[in-house]
Structure 1
């Protein structure tokens, strides 16, 4: 069996932003050089519908979901499309990229794991409702919430459900993992 993916932490490579708000603590910060004095458009990529998810950047590739139901992998330097993956509904979940695997949810109720280089589906997990929550990956476990009122923990390699927890409402927020605890907000 292959080694399970480990979580991305604040010691990610400079310029990497591999999951929503950068790291498992969702700090939204990096040790990379700060903002440029003046912004300049580098490239534009149009999808078939609006984009509500935040992009993730890893290994020179930008990953972003669209309301056209697709996750796109784009060259970070040129904006050229490397691949796309079609789901059954909107992709509003921001992806997480860990050890060459892209994890993201779709409004079709599935959490997907794709090979980051080829876009090939490794596995998917079906929840009972939409998944807008952006996954967090820590110590070989993928954590996310769904509109079915549950928080899920899946094996990052196989997609097997390790546990679920019923909350008091739909879970559209994204989990934070810190000190062995999963924190997540619930719409009540």
Structure 2
């Protein structure tokens, strides 16, 4: 059952210090679990006949109908932005991704840069997932709300120029920092953390 938590208070300064060591490389990373085991990416050796399969025909997710700038609307934006990620990785279309991202969002820009590179070769990614839990926090500092989305990520397949790369299923806490800019909610921060950090005030 999906769980949702809202209206917890925190400061963005605490979040920023806790994530100082995170990278902005946006490909699906290897992750060390709480048991100490590691899951990672396997690359199949391309055959002499390997070609990148055609990208799937997909429609962009519907933009959220935001009615205000409170934490509930911030959640709607965060959920939509997460839905955009598989779409961008599969199609290379970054128009909506860029529309809702602030220039300061390093991960957001990394996604755009990788999409541009993939567009040159036709490479693309299949990134299926399911949301298991949601948590929202009001914040002070670089953004006004922090939204945590606990996701169950299925087998990820990246069809690149060097062959098929597969990343084993796993769980992540997707953290989205949302900022109110002159009455418009925009994404200031986006990253994926370990699942056990979901809903934790102090990261």
Q: TM-score, normalised by structure 2?
A: 0.26
More helix by share: 2
Tell me which of the two structures has the higher relative contact order, counting C-alpha pairs closer than 8 angstroms and 6 or more residues apart: 2
User: Radius of gyration: which is bigger?
Assistant: 2
